[in-house]
Amino acid sequence: MRDAGVVAFPRGPGYRGGMKTTALEVRIRPADGPLELRRLTMTLDQVRLALTDIDRAYLIRGTRPKWVVAELHYQSLDLVVRVTAAATQKRPASSILASVEALVAGVESLQSEPAVPDYYSERTVERLLDISEPGHGVKELSLATVNGGTHQLVPVSDPVRMNARRAVIGTQESLGSVSGWLDSMNARRLSRRGLRVGLYDPLRRRAVTGEISAEMADEAHDKFWRRRVLASGRVTRNERGQPVRIKIDGLELLPEDDIERASVNDLLDSDRNWLGGQAVDEYIQEARRA
């Protein structure tokens, strides 16, 4: 879907379509002793960055949300902070607050699954771990979507942290490729080791961390920045087989949509005898029996 340079994509399973989320509630349960100011500011900043990470994976082009504190108060002993996006005419509210729903849905999925949630990257998972670790006056952190009232709070609990760590641990490495839109370069990360980038694929609801060598950094920025690319190199996957990160050796431009790509039928019809006259299903069944 395109509109004024904005490319938007439908939400995946598990998202709360129609709930008209208006804010994110961040609830901090203090431990014994005062909550450290540094921990509070770090938590809110990492929440902001996590929402921005997810928004990049959800929407390729468009105005990024400006996150603001809508409310801050104590409820019983908990510190409650409600965060929302400043209104803008450049994006509808349902789009601009989709990252709030994705952030909370991701925590829900990590309660039981050691898999990178939809629209999360490795860095988003790391941010979640940073803000949820008990200590410095924090006992527990919970998140919830808000629509008039607060929906069910989802604690970033021990099982969530355990599954989050497992989700970004590489258990397989092989040469391969990852497609997506190249974004989130940070020149401050440039060093002898290279540059950290993001590869975002909203159609697959996927965000993969990439590392580009220092020698490739200038070319990557000049030719491939914010373009749809095929990145080839050494791919690290988690135990579920999800690509988590890739050490990039090469980049190739891809069409920005499917218009210029041949359909599956066209590819299969390009050489009718390539399977010895067999139908694709027959060939696969025979190969599996071999």
Question: Is there a single domain that holds both residue 215 and residue 140?
Answer: no
Question: Is there a single domain that holds both residue 104 and residue 34?
Answer: yes
Question: Is 276 contained in some domain?
Answer: no
Question: Is 210 contained in some domain?
Answer: yes
Question: Is there a single domain that holds both residue 46 and residue 153?
Answer: yes
pLDDT in tens, the chain (290 residues): 334 334 443 444 334 444 589 999 999 999 987 899 999 999 999 999 999 999 999 988 888 999 999 999 999 889 999 999 998 888 998 899 999 999 999 999 999 999 999 999 999 999 999 999 999 999 999 999 998 777 899 999 999 999 999 999 999 999 999 999 998 766 555 556 678 899 999 888 999 999 998 888 888 888 999 999 999 999 999 999 999 999 999 999 999 865 554 454 554 555 555 566 665 556 555 554 55
Question: Is there a single domain that holds both residue 119 and residue 68?
Answer: yes
Question: Is 274 contained in some domain?
Answer: no
Full domain range(s) for residue 196: 172-253
Question: Is there a single domain that holds both residue 6 and residue 140?
Answer: yes
Question: Is there a single domain that holds both residue 221 and residue 199?
Answer: yes
End residue of a domain, out of 132, 167, 202: 167
Question: Is there a single domain that holds both residue 115 and residue 223?
Answer: no
Question: Is 105 contained in some domain?
Answer: yes
The string of DSSP letters for 111-177 reads TT--SPPTT--HHHHHHHHHHHS-BTTEEEEEEEEEESEE---EE--HHHHHHHHHHTS--EEEEEE
Question: Is 260 contained in some domain?
Answer: no
Sequence-distant (6+) residues with CB within 8 A of 282 are none
Question: Is 239 contained in some domain?
Answer: yes
Residue listed under structure tokens 């808000």 = 146
pTM higher than 0.85, yes or no?
no
Q: How many domains does the chain have?
A: 2
Question: Is there a single domain that holds both residue 200 and residue 142?
Answer: no
> In three state form, how does the secondary structure of 49-87 look?
HHHHHHHHHHCCCCCCCCEEEEEEEEECCEEEEEEEECC
* Rounded CA separation 71/204 (Å): 34
Question: Is there a single domain that holds both residue 241 and residue 132?
Answer: no
Residue listed under structure tokens 């709930």 = 19
Question: Is there a single domain that holds both residue 150 and residue 187?
Answer: no
Question: Is 29 contained in some domain?
Answer: yes
Question: Is 76 contained in some domain?
Answer: yes
Q: What is the CATH number of the domain that holds 213?
A: 2.40.50.140
Q: How many CB atoms lie within 10 A of CB 60?
A: 21
Burial letters for 156-174: b for 16+ Cβ neighbours within 10 Å, e otherwise?
A: bbeebbebbebbbeeeeee
End residue of a domain, out of 167, 183, 213: 167
Question: Count H helices, E strands: the chain?
Answer: 8, 13
114 closest CA partner among 191, 71, 166: 166
Question: Is there a single domain that holds both residue 159 and residue 176?
Answer: no
End residue of a domain, out of 149, 167, 185: 167
Q: Is the dihedral of CA 257, 258, 261, 264 positive or negative?
A: positive
